[in-house]
Structure 1
Amino acid sequence: MDGFAPIDSGKRLLADAVFQHLSRAIIEGQLDPGERIRDAELAEQLQVSRMPVREALQRLERIGLVEMMPSRYTRVTEVTDEVVRHSLAYAAYKLGNDIHIAATRLKDDERTRALQLLDAMADALGDTETSIAARIAFSRYIASTLPQSVYSQHLDDLDVALERNLNHIGPVLPDDELRENYAALREALVARDPNTAERLVRAQFGR
């Protein structure tokens, strides 16, 4: 658990900053599955007190990125086949719901940007790493256009969990089927057709 730079406390709440540091470290593999996290050591590296570290770890535990056994250990969780299945099901539901809402609400400039990101998904087919990045960019953009609510932080945290759990999972459907799906989704967004858009998004995850 080395290599963490001190946190700039002037930018955001410390617990949020620690959460972002740790979640990125887990997603990017700086912290490996099964690796133990010691809050005192981490607090020293980040130059913060142990309280925001503990708050961030509790938040990570709630979304399944770490597991905590009081007085014993805190460690990064494994991504099992079951976790992947559940994550794919939730991703299909969430993005399907988001696209259903967005399809009729997007402003012209937002719709143009969404179509550009969708085209980037089509262009990325055949390259797993680029496809994953394009999928995440599209999903995040659609979510960013929706009205904010009191649940926004919880939904954002779940997006972090999805990114981690599906970080190395390529497209579920064959490229030819996805290319047709993306083209049809493009038409649905242009036509402001929420039902078709939702159905097509869920199909991308095999639902």
Structure 2
Amino acid sequence: MVLEQPRVGVRDAGTKKELLAEGVFHFIGERIVRGELAPGDRIRDAELARELSVSRTPVREALQRLERIGLVKMYPSRFTEVTRLTPDAVRVAHEFAGLQAGVIARLACPRLAEDEIDAVVRLVEHVPLTVDDAAACSQARREVVGYLAARTGNRLQQALVDEASIALARALRGFVVTPEHRESLLRGCDEMPRALRERDADAAEHATRMIYGVA
């Protein structure tokens, strides 16, 4: 795989490096989320740089970001290792995801155009169909929140979500929907469309937290 490298001038060198590091960050992160890189697997920046046809600098920067959010552990001058998930890490991630998802829904609610409301409602309606498949349910919720996050009009919130989204996707991929959470999730999915159509930000936040079981 070769990351896209648009032509840039000298003045744009910093931007080019940032774009490359961003691409590498998501490339490695998604491989970890999908399980292609399992806990304990080692990543060597030189090998990855050759695979992606980039220099080692954006690879190192991407790995440093992944270390900050807990996906990898770097051992300088040696290798980088994919970390292992603990039950406590999953619990913390789920709580954080639910609270942040509520904030995202609150911010996006008054800014959505009618066609965008229709689009996100379709995403919400898909969530109940996935409750018996933990990975599919996590992905369905991620799609709802991702759609709303891009429409909050708040760059700080968007940056926070982008930084944390891969770690959350990994931690929540196998999250089991308990009977209590299932009831909350289904009620949240029922309430969410009305809240969005009525531009009720309070209700949209509450419904979203219910979908995550943290209301």
| Per-residue Cα deviation, 1:66-110 (whole angstroms, up to 9, x for no partner) | 112334442111111111111011111110001111222211111
1:131 and 1:90, CA in 2 relative to 1: closer, same or farther beyond 3 A?
same
Stretches of structure 1 that go unaligned for 5 or more consecutive residues are: none
Scaled by the length of structure 2, what TM-score is found?
0.85
Alignment-derived partner of residue 115 in structure 2: 109
- 1:142 equivalent to 2:148? Answer yes
Mean alpha-carbon deviation: is it higher for 93-102 or for 165-174? 165-174
> For residue 208 of structure 2, what is the aligned residue in structure 1?
201
Partner amino acid, structure 2, of 1:195: D
TM-score by length of 1: 0.88
Tell me, what secondary structure is at the counterpart of 1:171?
Answer: coil
Q: Stretches of 4+ moved more than 6 A in 1?
A: none
- Structure 2 CA distance, aligned partners of 1:206 and 1:121? 13
Tell me which protein shows more helix as a share of its residues.
Answer: 2
Q: In structure 2, what is the Cα distance between the partners aligned to 1:96 and 1:88?
A: 12
CA distance in 2, matches of 1:174, 1:15: 37
> Is residue 64 from structure 1 mapped to residue 60 from structure 2 by the alignment?
no
Q: How many Å separate the matches in 2 of 1:151 and 1:138?
A: 16
Q: Which residue does 2:185 correspond to in 1?
A: 178
Segments of 5+ residues of structure 2 without an aligned counterpart are 8-15
When structure 1 is superposed on structure 2, of 168-177 and 48-57 the one drifting more is: 168-177
Q: Structure 1 residues 138 and 10 mapped into 2: Cα distance closer, same or farther (>3 Å)?
A: same
Q: CA separation in 1, counterparts of 2:123 and 2:153?
A: 20
Which residue of structure 2 lines up, in the alignment, with residue 162 of structure 1? 168
The total of aligned residue pairs comes to 203
Contact conserved, 2:29 with 2:166, CA < 8 A, in 1? Answer: yes
Compute the RMSD of aligned alpha carbons: 2.1
1:134, distance to aligned residue in structure 2 (A): 1.3
Identity %: 36
Residue 68 of structure 1 aligns to a residue whose secondary structure is: strand
